[in-house]
Amino acid sequence: MTASEPFPSSLTHQNLDEKFLEQLDQVLKARQDIASELSTETSTTPQISETMRQIRQLPTSDRQDIYLQYRVKDQRDWYSAKARYNRKARTKWFNAMIVAQALSLVSAILHAVFPNIPVNTTGFFAGLATAFLSWLQVKKHQDLSQSYALAAQELGSIESLGCYVTSDELLSKFVSQAEDVISREHTLWVVKRSG
């Protein structure tokens, strides 16, 4: 829609459509696992919408504004929200682990002072603390928070440079920079999720 690489405005409508659909097919073949997640409602909607065609015909400044608002800012907001969510989740599970460890310690002290207590909950709370620690390590909230915050910062920097886009060539470079950040973060997410 932005008429940037690899779909410059110099392409004919047919060449553009063919190239776009070819790349879309490559993505679907590479990620067959997402096919089941795609909405069945979109099966009747064309892959290249009339809105996409209309935006592509707009002047550079309008395409730039649309790209900034609906791609860069949208992605920056998403990464910021995910960074906050993971930071809060990390804090919640870390605090739960500390509380469980403290309860285990209190239970151990109580059991040492009052050996006739019929139930010893020390092991239960120690196990709970270990479970919370394991959950923190599996979910990687700290890593995700830092990674998402970095992506949001990088997109913020790119967004700030958007006002200097004055030509199709500069818009293409601008889009490429933003998509590199988004693509890199997505690739890291896929690797972390699968590995």
Same domain, 88 and 36: no
Same domain, 97 and 138: yes
Q: What is the pLDDT of residue 170?
A: 93
Q: What is the DSSP annotation of 154-175?
A: HHHHHHHHGGG--SHHHHHHHH
CB 168, CB 60: distance < 8 Å: yes
Q: What is the pLDDT of residue 195?
A: 57
Same domain, 100 and 8: no
pLDDT digits 0-9 by tens, 51-97: 999 999 999 999 999 999 999 999 999 999 999 999 999 999 999 99
CA distance 91 to 83: 12
Q: What is the pLDDT of residue 75?
A: 95
CB 174, CB 64: distance < 8 Å: yes
Q: Which domain holds residue 43?
A: 1-57
Same domain, 48 and 130: no
Instruction: Assess whether pLDDT exceeds 90 at residue 31.
Output: no
Q: What is the pLDDT of residue 38?
A: 67
Q: What is the pLDDT of residue 49?
A: 87
Give the pTM.
0.80
Mean pLDDT of all residues in the chain?
89
Mean pLDDT within 108-134: 95
**Boundary of a domain, candidates 36, 57, 78:** 57
Instruction: Tokens 């400044």: give the residue.
Output: 61
pLDDT digits 0-9 by tens, 101-120: 999 999 999 999 999 999 99
Interacting residues of 178 by C-beta distance below 8 A, sequence separation 6+: 67, 71, 72, 75, 155, 158
Q: How many domains does the chain have?
A: 2
Indicate the SS3 state at residue 74: helix
In terms of Cβ atoms closer than 10 Å to its own Cβ (0-12, 13-18, 19+), residue 64 is buried
Tokens encoding 51: 């809105």
Same domain, 50 and 66: no
Q: What is the pLDDT of residue 186?
A: 74
